[in-house]
C-alpha cells in the first residue's frame, strides 16, 4: 500500500518557454514557496547576481541562460515535486525535446510583452503531439505588455490551445495590483516589494469588501468584475479530465520575479497535475504500479562536479522501486549493474537515496556504460521509445589546438557527445572527426567545456553540410545500394554507434538521392 501512496505523491513536470520568458526565475520561486530555499538567486537583466539555483554550470552563470536541463526536487503539502528546468534557447532544443520524454506534465511560460514566440510554438507542438498535460503561466505582469485578453487570443490562435483561465490579473504593467484566483475564488494583494523572500499578502474572499475597494480603487474593481464576467462567458469551465488528456490548458497570470501568482499556480498544480503516467516500450505499455522496476536514461551529464570528474546518467523511473545496491539489467549491454550511490537532485547538490519510486529522477554514477535512451529493468528485455537523436543542422571539423593534450581532447569529446549535446561523425574516407549540432551556440559550449573541464583546446573548421541522414537498407548486397556507396563515398560517415550517415550538401542532393535510390531509407532521427 505504501508503494501506491508514494506513486500518488509524485508530480514530475518540465518548465518550457522561449529564452528570457522567466523560466529559471519561476523555478526559483516554486522552490521558495516549497520551502526548499530561503532566498532566491536574483536573475536581473541577464546578469546573474547571486547565481540562480538551477543554473549550476559556469557558462550558464556568465551568459544568464540555461544550457542544460537541471533537476530539482522538493516536498510541498505532502507531495514530492520533481522539476526539470529546461534550456529555452533553440540551440539547446534537443536537450529539451528529450527531457519532455521524462515528464508527466508541463508548465509553459509566456512573456507578457512578447506573447507567443517561435521556440514556444515548437515545444508546445511536441507536447500536443505527445498529449502532455500543459498549464500556461503568463509571466512578467509588472511590465508593460499586451492586454490579458489579447494574450489569451494569441495563445489560442498561434498554439492551437483550448484555454481555461484559473487566475486573472488586477491591472497590468504599472497598474498591476494583484491576482484574482478563479480556482479558489479569492484575491491576493501584495504589500511588500521584497523579491527574494515570500512577501505578506492581504487575502480577500469576496469582491464586495470595502477594504479591498479602498486598496485597489473603484475603477480597478469594476474592470476586474467586467473581465471576470467575460472570462466565464467566453472560456470553457475547467475540466480536470480534459486537462489530463491534453485537450484543455488552464492559464495563470503572475510575476515570478515579484512573487505574484506563483503560489496560486503551485497550489492548483499539485491538485490537478497527474501522478506518474504509463510509458510505451517496443513490446508493451508499462504502468507505474507494476512491481518490477524499469526506467530509462534521458540525459547524461559529464563533470557535474569538476573536482571529481564524475559523470551522471539521469534515469526516469517508470515502474517499480529502484533500490540502492540492487543489481538491475542493462538491456543494451545484456548485463546486470549495481549502484552503490544513486543520487537525488537539488540542482548541483546531490544526496544518496536508498529507494526511489516511479516519477522520481535518479542520477547514477557512470563509467561509460550508459547512452541516452538506454533502458534499465529488473530483468525484462524491453526498450523505451521516443528518445531520438535529431539530425544536426550545423557541422564543423574538429581540430586539436594543443598537440600535448590529444588524449584529453578525445576523452572530452567522447564524454560530451555521450551527453547528447552534439553528435560526432567520422568520415569514412579519411577518418576526420566532424561535430554536428542542432544550434550554433553549442560549439561555443563544447569549446568552453573542453578547455575548463578537460584541459583540452580545439579549433573548429567550417564544413558545408546541409543535413545528416541516417541510412538503412533491407538488402546490403543490392546493386543500387553498392552504387550509392561508391558515388557518395566522400559524403559518407559513421556515428558513434557505427551507423552509416549520409552528409548531404543540400536539400536538392537528398531529394535526388531519395529518387535515384528508392530502396534506401533516409532517416532524420536515429531512432528507427
- The length of the chain, given as a count of residues: 528
* Of the residues 254, 272, 290, the one at which a domain ends: 272
- Phi and psi angles of residue 471, each rounded to the nearest 5 degrees, phi first: -110, 135
Q: What is the CATH number of the domain that holds 242?
A: 3.40.50.300
Looking at the predicted structure, is the pLDDT value of residue 283 above 80?
A: yes
In a domain? residue 79: no
Q: What is the pLDDT of residue 194?
A: 53
Looking at the predicted structure, is the pLDDT value of residue 492 above 90?
A: yes
Identity of the highest mean pLDDT range in 121-130, 260-269, 283-292: 283-292
Same domain, 428 and 517: yes
Looking at the predicted structure, is the pLDDT value of residue 135 above 90?
A: yes
Same domain, 204 and 335: no
Same domain, 413 and 516: yes
Q: What would the mean pLDDT of 355-382 be, rounded to a whole number?
A: 89
In a domain? residue 238: yes
Give the dihedral sign, CA 220/222/223/227.
positive
Q: With cut-offs at 50, 70 and 90, classify the pLDDT of residue 67.
A: very low
Same domain, 255 and 298: no
Domain containing 352 equals 279-377
Same domain, 308 and 399: no
Cell of 101: 520524454
* Of the residues 348, 377, 406, the one at which a domain ends: 377
Percentage above 70 pLDDT, the chain: 84
Q: What would the mean pLDDT of 155-160 be, rounded to a whole number?
A: 91
Same domain, 263 and 298: no
Q: What is the pLDDT of residue 99?
A: 77
Q: What is the pLDDT of residue 16?
A: 85
Same domain, 166 and 56: yes
Domain count of the fold of the chain = 3
182-197 b/e with 16+ CB inside 10 Å = b? bbeeebbbbeeeebee
Cβ atoms 298, 99 nearer than 8 A: yes
Same domain, 303 and 419: no
In a domain? residue 49: yes
Q: With cut-offs at 50, 70 and 90, classify the pLDDT of residue 113.
A: confident
| Residue ranges in 55-181 assigned as alpha helix (H) | 58-63, 93-99, 118-129, 148-159
Question: From CA 184, how far away is CA 187, in angstroms rounded?
Answer: 9
Cβ atoms 144, 174 nearer than 8 A: yes
Same domain, 262 and 286: no
Same domain, 343 and 407: no
Q: Select the more confidently predicted residue: 199 or 118.
A: 118
Amino acid at each position: 500500500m505504501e508503494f501506491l501512496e508514494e506513486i500518488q505523491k509524485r508530480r514530475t513536470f518540465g518548465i518550457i518557454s522561449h529564452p528570457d520568458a522567466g523560466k529559471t526565475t519561476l523555478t526559483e520561486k516554486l522552490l521558495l514557496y516549497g520551502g526548499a530555499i530561503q532566498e532566491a538567486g536574483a536573475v536581473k537583466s541577464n546578469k546573474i547576481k547571486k547565481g540562480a539555483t538551477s543554473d549550476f554550470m559556469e557558462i550558464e552563470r556568465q551568459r544568464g541562460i540555461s544550457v542544460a536541463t537541471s533537476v530539482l526536487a522538493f516536498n510541498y503539502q505532502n507531495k514530492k515535486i520533481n522539476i526539470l528546468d529546461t534550456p529555452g534557447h533553440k540551440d539547446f532544443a534537443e536537450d529539451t525535446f528529450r527531457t519532455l520524454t521524462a515528464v508527466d506534465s508541463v508548465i509553459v511560460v509566456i512573456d507578457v510583452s512578447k506573447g507567443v514566440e517561435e521556440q514556444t510554438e515548437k515545444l508546445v507542438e511536441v507536447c500536443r503531439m505527445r498529449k502532455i498535460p500543459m498549464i500556461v503561466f503568463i509571466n512578467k505582469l509588472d511590465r508593460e505588455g499586451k492586454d490579458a485578453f489579447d494574450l489569451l487570443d494569441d495563445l489560442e490562435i498561434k498554439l492551437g490551445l483550448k484555454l481555461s483561465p484559473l487566475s486573472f490579473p488586477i491591472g497590468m504593467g504599472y497598474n498591476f495590483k494583484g491576482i484574482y484566483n478563479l480556482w479558489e475564488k479569492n484575491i491576493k494583494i501584495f504589500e511588500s516589494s521584497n523579491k527574494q523572500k515570500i512577501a505578506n499578502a492581504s487575502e480577500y474572499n469576496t469582491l464586495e469588501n470595502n477594504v479591498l475597494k479602498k486598496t485597489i480603487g473603484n475603477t480597478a474593481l469594476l474592470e476586474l468584475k467586467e473581465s471576470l464576467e467575460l472570462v466565464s462567458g467566453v472560456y470553457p469551465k475547467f475540466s480536470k479530465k480534459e486537462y489530463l488528456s491534453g485537450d484543455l490548458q488552464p492559464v495563470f497570470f503572475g510575476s515570478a520575479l515579484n512573487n505574484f501568482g506563483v503560489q496560486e499556480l503551485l497550489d492548483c498544480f499539485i491538485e490537478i497535475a497527474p501522478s506518474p503516467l504509463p510509458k510505451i516500450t517496443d513490446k508493451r505499455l508499462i504502468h507505474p504500479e507494476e512491481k518490477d522496476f524499469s526506467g530509462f536514461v534521458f540525459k547524461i551529464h559529464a563533470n557535474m562536479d569538476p573536482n571529481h570528474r564524475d559523470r551522471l546518467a539521469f534515469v526516469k523511473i517508470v515502474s517499480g522501486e529502484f533500490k540502492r545496491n540492487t543489481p538491475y539489467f542493462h538491456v543494451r549491454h545484456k548485463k546486470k549493474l549495481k549502484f552503490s550511490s544513486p543520487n537525488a537532485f537539488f540542482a548541483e547538490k546531490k544526496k544518496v537515496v536508498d529507494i526511489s519510486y516511479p516519477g522520481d529522477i535518479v542520477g547514477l554514477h557512470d563509467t561509460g556504460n550508459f547512452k541516452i535512451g538506454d533502458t534499465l529493468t529488473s530483468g525484462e528485455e524491453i526498450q523505451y521509445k521516443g528518445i531520438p537523436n535529431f539530425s544536426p543542422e550545423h557541422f564543423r571539423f574538429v581540430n586539436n589546438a594543443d598537440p600535448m593534450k590529444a588524449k584529453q581532447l578525445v576523452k572530452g569529446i567522447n564524454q560530451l557527445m555521450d551527453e547528447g549535446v552534439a553528435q560526432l561523425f567520422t568520415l569514412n574516407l579519411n577518418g576526420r572527426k566532424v561535430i554536428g549540432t542542432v544550434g550554433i551556440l553549442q560549439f561555443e559550449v563544447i569549446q568552453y567545456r573542453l578547455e575548463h573541464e578537460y584541459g583540452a583546446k580545439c579549433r573548429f573548421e567550417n564544413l558545408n553540410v546541409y543535413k545528416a541522414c541516417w541510412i538503412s537498407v533491407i538488402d546490403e548486397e543490392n546493386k543500387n545500394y553498392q552504387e550509392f556507396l561508391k558515388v557518395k563515398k566522400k559524403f559518407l560517415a559513421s556515428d558513434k554507434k557505427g551507423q552509416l550517415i549520409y552528409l548531404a550538401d543540400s536539400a536538392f542532393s537528398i531529394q535526388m538521392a531519395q529518387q535515384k535510390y528508392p530502396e534506401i531509407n533516409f532517416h532524420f532521427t536515429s531512432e528507427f
